[in-house]
Chain A
Amino acid sequence: MATYVSAGTDMTLSINSVVYSEQVSMVELTVDQEVDTYRTLTGKTKIVTGTDAKLKVKFFQDWPGNATGIAEKLWAISVTGTPVAFTLAINGVGGATFSGNLIPAYPTVGGTPGSGLESDVTMEIVGAVTIATNPS
């Protein structure tokens, strides 16, 4: 089989149909399984009862005044908390596109002197995450 190695620079992230890759320094999708363990007279069994997905995004704070900035946009849509669509794509052969809906979270604001102002936001995902692969 072929070896596929993708880099962070091969990713794109869109939230609410706007691509924010130019501002994003890290993005990570995690899907944890919720597992219940039952003990019976004959042993132990584990049953998956659901999943808990999160999207962690680290980005440079941007407030351009026209809602095109990811920080500004997240702040605006977090007021209602209404879930919005997201797409995380690992581009190229061997990559995949992950899609779902997330609950927007307020970005952190500020930082330290000597480094770029970044926000680190972890957003809860509502419903299932779908995957579409990029076959060769």
Chain B
Amino acid sequence: MNAFKAARASIASALAGIHANVYDYPPEMVGTPAVVVVVDDPMAEPLVIGSRLRFAANYKLMVCVAPMTNLGSLEAVEELVIEVLGALPANVLVGNVAAPIVTQVGQSDLVVCEIPIQVQTQES
């Protein structure tokens, strides 16, 4: 398993206990509520001297809930964001959580909130 795949898998594994579907890649169909691990830009950043294969990998966690009433969707997103933040392991760096927005995914609208994260990893 390469370092990227291992990083995505470890994030998904850490989130396995939350009350949502967790995908370690963008699926063709998203079953809500869901958290989707999406590669962010830049995909990888140099981290330390001495090796190109030790790097920081950047991802966005897309917290997705179905559109309901405004209040219902907001509260569902809030609950899920709190769950995700609490479930992430200590060595994952968490950035600023974006405001939820309505986004079309496939044929349906979803309320989506982005959580940028960074994981330190290395290719062995």
Contacts and interface: CB of A to CB of B under 8 A. Distances in A.
A21 B50 contact: yes
Nearest to A60: B48
Contacts, number: 41
Contacts of A11: 49-50
Nearest to B122: A22
Please indicate which of the listed interface residues B50, B94, B95, B120 has the most CB atoms of chain A within 10 Å of its own CB.
B50
B93 A21 contact: no
Contacts of A13: 49-50
Interface residues of B, number: 13
A114 B95 CA distance: 5
Given A9-B49, A25-B48, 20 more contacts: A9-B51, A11-B50, A12-B49, A12-B50, A19-B50, A21-B49, A21-B51, A22-B48, A22-B51, A22-B54, A24-B48, A24-B49, A24-B50, A25-B49, A26-B49, A60-B48, A113-B94, A114-B94, A114-B95, A116-B93
A25 B47 contact: yes
B99 to A, nearest CB: 17
A114 B49 contact: no
Interface string A13-35: 10000010111111100000000
A100 B45 CA distance: 31
A131 B62 CA distance: 51
Interface residues of A, number: 19
Nearest to B120: A116
B52 interface: yes
A36 to B, nearest CB: 36
Please indicate which of the listed interface residues A9, A25, A116 has the most CB atoms of chain B within 10 Å of its own CB.
A9
B17 interface: no
B46 interface: yes
Contact of B46 (A9, A27, A60, A114): A9
A110 interface: no
11 contacts: A9-B46, A11-B50, A22-B50, A22-B51, A23-B48, A24-B48, A24-B50, A25-B47, A25-B49, A114-B95, A114-B96
